[in-house]
Amino acid sequence: MPDCQTVLLIEDNPGDARLIREMLGDESQLLFRLECVERLSHGLEYLSKQSTGLVLLDLSLPDSFGVETFLKVFAHSPKVPIIVLTGNDDQTIALLAVKTGAQDYLIKGKLDRELLLRSMQYSIERKRYQEQLEFHANYDALTRLPNRNLLHDRLRQSVFAQRFVRSIGVVFLDIDHFKFVNDSLGHNTGDKLLQCVAERLTEAVRDGDTVARLGGDEFILILNDQPGEEIIYRAMQRIIGKVAEPIQVDGHELMVTCSAGISLYPQDGPDVETLLKHADTAMYRAKANGRNNFQFYTVEMNQHVNERLQTENSLRRALERREFEL
């Protein structure tokens, strides 16, 4: 491990703390720098102020006891790997801590230098690997925006977390003529354009809103806690205008526009799938209206789509049945 990691030991027994410090002496100091506190409250305070690579945690402290000790540290700093230190009689509690998020547990009476170092290195690497898996499961690799999976979770949270009924705007946004950019300038330039658009969309919304990428040139925006359509209308004017500003990519000045459709919770749908479907329908209406604009979903749009689908199906069946006459 090339970097020296700060290790926080939360342990109230001076003898156990001294033993661990001795185990991490000599050449292991190039890998780990040990900091010690005796109370959970002091440990949480340290974690709030200092970057920490690992926590060695005694479950029996003057101000906290048992698995609750671990849960408090885990809730405070979920990204910091934690190794639980336990006595011979507390292995059941230690196993419970591992099941709920601890990376490992060590029995104090059976602890030696080699075991401690191996457990610390393993725990840091394992936590890093878990974070990578979690990132790839929830974020788009190209733009680093939330992907479809995380988008659905965010939208569900937005819907269920409402204490007062205020509109949530769900925006389905598509870059106009993106295929032309890919075909004429190449996929590498197209990818860079997507990254630029993702950055602009993120800058154009508020901190509590969400910008996600579904794939291709399709983006979803969740505009939370909106007092009315007029506010969303002005926000969309700003967003559409921001995307349309000239973009420099690989020496090319690109002028791109986007089309967007908007559905509103709760009036346009009670659930995630319905809201996304209706926003998609509205986006296609924006495309049909000449692109570089946005449309709010209406019931009439759905009726029009259903009528068109019915007509297409009827024409297909008529062709199969040879019902056309010249």
DSSP helix/strand/coil, 284 = helix
Please state whether beta strands 210-215 and 82-86 pair in parallel, antiparallel, or not at all (unpaired). Answer: unpaired
Query: Which residues face 296 on adjacent strands?
Result: 262
pLDDT at 87 (0 to 100): 80
Kindly give the confidence (pLDDT) of every residue in the chain, 326 residues in length, as a single tens digit, with 9 standing for 90 and above. Answer: 457 889 999 999 999 999 999 888 765 667 888 999 999 999 999 999 999 999 999 999 999 988 999 999 999 999 999 999 988 667 788 888 889 999 999 998 888 989 999 999 999 999 999 999 999 999 999 999 999 999 999 888 887 766 556 689 999 999 999 999 999 999 999 999 999 999 999 999 998 899 999 989 999 999 988 888 888 999 999 999 999 999 999 888 999 999 999 999 888 988 889 999 999 999 999 999 999 999 999 987 656 555 565 666 667 777 777 777 77
pLDDT at 320 (0 to 100): 77
pLDDT at 145 (0 to 100): 96
pLDDT at 28 (0 to 100): 60
pLDDT at 30 (0 to 100): 73
The phi and psi torsions of 261 (rounded to 5 degrees) equal: -120, 145
Q: Where are the domains of the chain?
A: 5-137, 148-320
Q: Find the helix packing angle between 40-49 and 67-76, rounded to 10°.
A: 20
- Strands (E) across 229-286 are located at 247-249, 252-254, 258-265
pLDDT at 208 (0 to 100): 87
Nearest-angstrom CA–CA distance, 311 and 309 = 5
Nearest-angstrom CA–CA distance, 70 and 59 = 7
Residue 176 is a catalytic residue:
no
To 10 degrees, the CA torsion angle through 136, 138, 140, 144?
-90
CATH of 148-320, one of 3.40.50.300, 1.10.10.60, 3.30.70.270, 3.90.1150.10: 3.30.70.270
Catalytic hit among 217, 250, 268, 271: 217
What CATH number should be reported for the domain whose range is 5-137? Answer: 3.40.50.2300
Nearest-angstrom CA–CA distance, 66 and 61 = 9
In terms of pTM, does the model score above 0.75? no
